[in-house]
């Protein structure tokens, strides 16, 4: 597959995933860029995302990082899920800040992959570092969307 074909497939896969990704949509995430093995997403910290310390809840930051990871590891149109994830929180994020998560594939061997995600504030400060391990499962992302479109209601 040419680089141009791989890029087109990554974008089509992201569009198929996004059409079903109610969690990311509800949190106001935005896809900034998707390439084979790579994704960048953004999310603005809303008032309903802050914790009792009035900083962004760690679970929200994890969800942004996990979502970028998902788009990166599914970018080749193979259904892929997380097998393990870890996050280190390095700095707080405040209400109104826009966070950007960049997921980069570090290794892909057989059905397993390793991805590093850096979550940064708009000012470039690193808020969190996330590592996700992926496992490819049966099926394809785009075919799954087509099957869902034709499922009896």
The Cα–Cα gap between 68 and 14 comes to 11
Question: What CATH number is attached to the domain comprising 108?
Answer: 3.10.129.10
Ranges assigned E (strand) in 50-142: 78-89, 98-109, 112-121, 126-140
Can you give the pLDDT at residue 147? 57
Per-residue model confidence as pLDDT tens digits over 114-147: 999 999 999 999 999 999 999 999 999 998 766 5
| DSSP state, residue 55 | S
pTM equals 0.93
Residues facing residue 107 across a β-bridge: 114
The Cα–Cα gap between 19 and 24 comes to 10
Count of domains forming the chain:
1
Average pLDDT, integer, range 7-33: 97
Question: In degrees, to the nearest 5, what angle opens at C-alpha 97 toward C-alphas 91 and 98?
Answer: 100
Domain span including residue 11 = 3-149
Can you give the pLDDT at residue 145? 64
Query: Given pLDDT bands bounded at 50, 70 and 90, which one contains residue 1?
Result: confident
Per-residue model confidence as pLDDT tens digits over 52-104: 999 999 999 999 999 999 999 999 999 999 999 999 999 999 999 999 999 99
């Amino acid at each position: 597959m040419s680089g141009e074909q791989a890029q087109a497939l990554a974008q089509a896969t992201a569009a198929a995933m996004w059409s079903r990704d109610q969690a990311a949509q509800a949190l106001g995430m935005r896809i900034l860029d998707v390439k084979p093995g790579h994704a960048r997403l953004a999310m603005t910290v809303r008032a309903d995302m802050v914790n009792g310390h009035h900083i962004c809840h760690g679970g929200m930051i994890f969800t942004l990082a996990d979502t970028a990871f998902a788009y990166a590891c599914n970018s080749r149109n193979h259904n892929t899920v997380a097998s393990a994830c870890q996050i280190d929180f390095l700095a707080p994020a405040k209400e109104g800040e826009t966070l950007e998560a960049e997921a980069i594939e570090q290794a892909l061997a057989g059905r397993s992959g390793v991805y590093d995600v850096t979550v940064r504030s708009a000012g470039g400060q690193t808020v969190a570092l996330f590592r996700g391990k992926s496992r490819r499962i049966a099926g394809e992302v785009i075919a799954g969307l087509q099957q869902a479109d034709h499922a009896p209601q």
